[in-house]
Amino acid sequence: MEDYNDLFRMRHTAQHVLAYAMEILFPGVKKAMGPATADGFYGDFELPEGVAVSLDDFQKIEDKMKEIINSGKDMIYQEVSLAEAKKLFQDNIYKLEWIQEIDARGEKISLYWIGDENVDLCAGPHVGNVKDVKAFKLLNIAGAYWRGDSKNKMLTRIYGTAYPSEKALKEYLHNREEAEKRDHRKLGPALDLIYFDNKSPGAPYWLPKGLIIYKELYNFWSYYHEDHGYLEYRGPLVNRKELFEISGHWDHYKEHMFILNQDKHNILVIKPMGCPNALVAFNLQTRSYQDLPYRLADVDMLYRHEDAGALAGLFRTYEFNQDDAHIFISEDQIESEYNNIIDIVEDFYNLFELQCSFQLSTRPDDFMGEVETWNRAEIILKDILTKRFGQDGFTIKEKDGAFYGPKLDIHMKDCLGREWQMGTIQLDFQLPGRFNSHYIDENGNRQTPILLHRVIYGAIGRFIAILIEHFSGKFPVWLSPVHAVIIPISDAYSAYADKIYQVLHDVEIRTATRGLRITKDYSSDRFQKRIRNAQVQYIPYMLIVGENEKNNNTVSVRTRDGQQLNNIPLENFIEILKNKIRSKSLEIKLDA
């Protein structure tokens, strides 16, 4: 397959082959829906009464899929009338619902046949022949409500993937297995970083070690933004609904808000987003064109109501801190400010060796404002992106902008090649006018500013989850909850270990804690067990002290990766550690 579209077509056809196999193996099954996805495909099915499908059935389903693929049938496209479609799928309530919607939109009703044997309602695209489906694998099974609505029937969802070669499939399966090992929902609690309790759904406990990582990321963010002209502030957590009526969020986002009904005259909202508060803060003074860009930044806690079934560790929660910034500018500052923000994005993501890419999202169906304003905003952003990245250096996703403006979404790839949608930079011509925001231009006239909404990390907890999985819990030194652990060979060297601890404890360096994060292991465990304990906690450095080290005022250092250097002068190790922290190096290896 030469590009993503070819891969998408193949996966889409693989899903049709899965559906055909299910109909052969489980007579009476109803096909509901089944798209191709970014990493595979899935199919939703209503199984006949008394029939269940499990992972144990995957082998026979895959065997049947291979039979269908080997038959070499063509994928045949056909357009039909409303009456023909209804007759063809008269026994399938799911397809009938789709047919009604397609007809209501005034679109063509189309089918895809596998040869002349099996048909499904589908707009495509597909490969030309089922033999073009190469290496595939069924992956998992789960329950899924029809159309994601818990009021609807629970269906059986089967996940799979397909690749152009066995080699590519094996690489994907290896990465998938690795991702399961790195799952932050397992690693986070195992490393004493976070804890999830079913009595607090959608809201994690940040344990002391996890909070250190959180604070390090926040401190880096805060110092960096202060150096780049941002003013940090904090807005109220609880606001009256009128604030969100002015901004338009009440009409566009109410179903995702946590609402406190005091009485009909006093409806309060727990803050789901920070932009209305930033606009209020901007309006507190008369601003001049010389104040622009006026950059307000915050990491306030936000609360958004999600479907309980959508909650997923730190990836999707009810509460989260987001590294927000709202930047008030004039129109002639749009390009320079966008470039400044993209520079920040690259600085942040490069720090973790995360590859980033950019996607322009355009006017959605439920947009606010005038089409002409939107068109102008989209042209401006396309021009900025083309100048910065070239004609093919970004992607476009139609109709996925915010309701108040087009946006530039930031996607990144981790070490396993998984893509995540992270931060965003949104261009807003709407909200400043709704809040009557203004500044005085160089001619003494009132002008409405343009507002940029932007986040870099996104939700900080979600970013930490990605880092846990990206680094497999082996954080760089500056982020590690413990920088080093002192392990005396025996109790005879505890006094020297105490001396080392005190020296390290007193080192002055700016971190999220008071300095170096050093612990001691004087437990009764055998020496090798104490080494192992440090390794499984992924502590970067183990400082081993015994007779040699005591006599020479040195330490022997073992890294969590197994490197060992003996009898390093303590002052040398302190400088090495300080340099690793200050430079935010990802490398823990020590120079001999």
**Residues catalogued as catalytic:** 275, 304, 322, 324, 326, 407, 453
- For residues 543 and 516, what is the distance between their CA atoms, to the nearest angstrom? 14
Here the contacts of 249-252 (C-beta below 8 Å, separation 24 or greater) are 249/273, 249/276, 252/366, 252/368, 252/403
Longest alpha-carbon distance in the chain: 93
Q: What is the number of other CB atoms lying within 10 angstroms of the CB of residue 463?
A: 28
Residue 471 to residue 217: CA distance in whole angstroms: 15
Task: Tell me if 555 sits within 8 A of 549, measured CB to CB.
Answer: yes
Residues 346 and 371: beta-carbon distance below 8 Å:
no
Question: Which H, E and C letters describe 257-321, residue by residue?
Answer: CEEEEEECCEEEEECCCCHHHHHHHHCCCCEEHHHCCEEEEECCEEECCCCHHHCECCCECCEEE
Cα–Cα dist 117/124, whole Å: 18
Phi-psi region of 166 (alpha: psi -120 to 50; beta: other; left: phi over 0): alpha
The torsion angles phi and psi of 526, rounded to 5 degrees, stand at -60, 160
User: What span, in angstroms and rounded, lies between the C-alpha atoms of 93 and 82?
Assistant: 15
Query: 332: which residues sit within 8 A by CB, 6+ positions away?
Result: none
Q: What's the half-sphere exposure (Cβ side, CA atoms, 13 Å) at 587?
A: 6
| Beta carbons of 491 and 527 less than 8 angstroms apart | no
How far apart, in Å, are the Cα atoms of 492 and each of 498, 520, 525? 12, 14, 15
The size of the chain, in residues, is 592
- Residue 443, SS3? coil
Q: What angle do CA 150, 152, 156 make, to 5 degrees?
A: 90
Q: 308-346 as b/e, with b when 16 or more CB fall inside 10 Å?
A: eeeeebbbbbbbbbbbbbbbbbbeebbeebbebbbebbe
